[in-house]
Amino acid sequence: MERIGPWLQRSWDRRAAGNFIAGGSGSGLAIVAALDAFWSGDPKPAAFAVAASLIALGLLLVWFEIGRPWRFLHVFFHPQTSWMTREATLAPLFLLALAAAAWSGPSTGSGWALAALAAFLAFAFLYSQARILRAAQGIPAWREGALVPLFLATGFAEGAGLFLALFALSAAIPFTGGPFTGGPFAGGPFAGGPFVAGLALAAILAREIAWRAYRRSLAHRGAPKGALEALKAIDLPVLFLGTLAPFFLIAAALAFPRAAGLLALAGGVLAVLAGWLIKAVVVTRAAFTQGFALPHLSRLAPAAGGKSARPGWS
Amino acid sequence: MTRWVMVADLDRCVGCQTCTAACKEANGTPPGEQWRRVLDMEVGEYPDVRRAFVPVGCMHCDDPPCMAVCPSTATRRRADGIVTIDYDLCIGCGYCILACPYGARYKSEHPRFAYGGGPTEAERKRFDARRLGVATKCTFCVDRVDAGTEAGLTPGVDPEASPVCVNSCIAAALHFGDIDDPQSNVSALLSGNRHFRMHEALGTGPRLYYLWH
């Protein structure tokens, strides 16, 4: 079958989507965990450990996708212009900063400085992921500039949601100890719970705004019909299950401390899943190519009046 | 300075796909990979509908997005504008395939042959294991261009120094030459005819020009 109009790319599959999902959630979690640590003065090593594991998992998934996996060191060769190189470089730097922060401990100034550095590197990693897609000029749904704030916002929303879910869950398991002490709103050692809940609410709202802006901008500029349809198909789930439900559940957790754990868990999980859904669809189902077009038709088809032929576009 | 470009005359192209076949034969690309192909496009609306045959492939862009995104520096652009891939550097991440707005890049993980299991004699001769798991695309027949230039021939004029798709074209619709040389075949064609390039708005500076009269 000859390809003329846009076709769905098959070069990056679920493994690549998995990198954006795991890496985005992991870097968002690292940033939120760092903000919580600075706010509460009580760093949660488990949150950082989960964040690091997620980022490593994402890169492992990419490793499984590349055609020549044993040449993986070549990925570091082009930091001048390649956001993939930058992403790959930032990951080990983040892990190193995190390890150094853990080694220094929370009682030292250098430990806090290294934690701040790790959070900054996590943000840079998240930003690089968004720019990776933005630089793919062959995919109109990715090169749209509004995708960058969407990926940043959902990274924060997923990170905050994951943080709440993790600690709500740990509080519900009586035998967990060590880093998993305390529930999100139970007072005691987890003084940053309401702060993180506030962050989550802001990030969920920001994501909804960024999602609408992205879809609006894409439709305004023109995009392959298949891409617009794929995004439209998840609009209601994103609105109801990814924005309204987690927003009210987390807000309710703040209002009803007795049920805070369960409400925060449910809200956090929904906030995370919505972000994963958005990324999975953007990477695998809305990723239609540019296709081919003829800009001038006055001779080829006089009745077209000089309009361009752009099959498969809105 | 030399800058190689290709010119396709849409009024001359008859869509015979001889260039496609010649490219496949010369480069030994597997089934499904066509570094040069000719689109059969339908334009206009009933009752004024026309067919347009549009040769496409790597546009060897002035500002190739595939090169900017490549994490390994496998994709490079020579001084004469030909965009190349170093098969020994490429990690096969596929990022360049997604960055190319012209659908010109391919990646094959496993050997594939036209008639099922084993290769034909021609496929066996041209099989290159270095091209498995990495990005591939039209090279503007860079080996022919380089060897011909070294031998004192003029690419685009002398067939031995020209891309095989250009040589094979039965309608003289495809032309190859140096756009920086005002006396060249392609400069004459572009100065004497209206022309456009695919997806110019993207700013990639494609160097396959289409003539339309």
- CATH no. for residue A40? 1.20.1630.10
Inside any domain, residue A251: yes
Q: Could you count the other beta carbons within 10 Å of the beta carbon of residue A197?
A: 24
A154/B contact by beta carbon, under 8 A: no
The answer to whether the CB atoms of A9 and B98 lie below 8 A apart is: yes
A150 part of a folded domain? yes
Joined tokens for residue B181: 């040389």
Q: What percent of chain A has pLDDT over 70?
A: 88
Give the minimum alpha-carbon distance from A194 to chain B in angstroms, rounded to a whole number: 41
Is A6 a domain residue?
no
Flag whether residue B73 sits within 8 Å of chain A, measured between CB atoms. yes
Question: What count of Cα atoms within 13 Å lies in the side-chain half-sphere of residue A9?
Answer: 39
Q: Locate tokens 């390039």: which residue?
A: B197
Euclidean distance between CA atoms A69 and A74, whole angstroms: 10
CB B92 within 8 Å of CB A68 = yes
Q: Which amino acid is at A223?
A: A
CA A264 to chain centre: 20
pLDDT digits (tens, 9 = 90+) for B135-189: 999 999 999 999 999 999 999 999 999 999 999 999 999 999 999 999 999 999 9
Question: Which of these CATH numbers, 2.40.30.170, 3.30.70.20, 3.40.50.2300, 2.60.120.1600, describes B4-212?
Answer: 3.30.70.20
What average pLDDT does this structure show over A103-120?
Answer: 88
Q: Would you say residue A300 lies in a domain?
A: no
Give pLDDT tens digits for A3-24: 788 999 999 999 999 999 999 9
pLDDT (0 to 100) of residue B49: 80
**Minimum mean pLDDT among A19-23, A39-43, B96-100, B207-211: which range?**
A39-43
- Chain B residues 194-213 within an 8 A CB cutoff of chain A: 194, 196, 198-200, 202, 204, 212-213
pLDDT value at A301 more than 90: no
Asked, for residue A157, whether it belongs to a domain, the answer is: yes
The per-residue pLDDT of chain A, averaged, comes to 89
Q: What is the pLDDT of residues B51-85, one digit of tens each?
A: 889 999 999 999 999 999 999 999 999 999 999 99
Per-residue pLDDT at A193 = 76
Q: Is the pLDDT of residue A173 over 70?
A: no
Segments forming the whole domain that contains residue A255: 14-288
Q: Is A68 in the B-facing interface, judged by CB distances under 8 Å?
A: yes
Q: Which residues pair with B5 in a beta bridge?
A: B177
Give Cβ neighbours of residue B111 (< 8 Å, ≥ 6 apart).
B30, B119, B127, B129, B132
A231: closest CA of chain B, how far (Å): 19
Give a yes or no: residue A295 inside a domain: no
A182 neighbors A23 (Cβ within 8 angstroms): no
Tell whether A7 is covered by a domain.
no
Q: How confident is the model at residue A172 (pLDDT cuts 50, 70, 90)?
A: low
Rounded to 5°, angle at Cα B140 from B134 and B144: 105
Q: What's the pLDDT tens digit per position in A260-293? A: 888 999 999 999 999 999 999 999 999 999 999 8
| Per-residue pLDDT, A170 | 76
Query: What total of structural domains would you count in chain A?
Result: 1
Average pLDDT of every residue of chain B: 95
Predicted ipTM? 0.94
Subunit contact A303:B54, Cβ cutoff 8 A: no
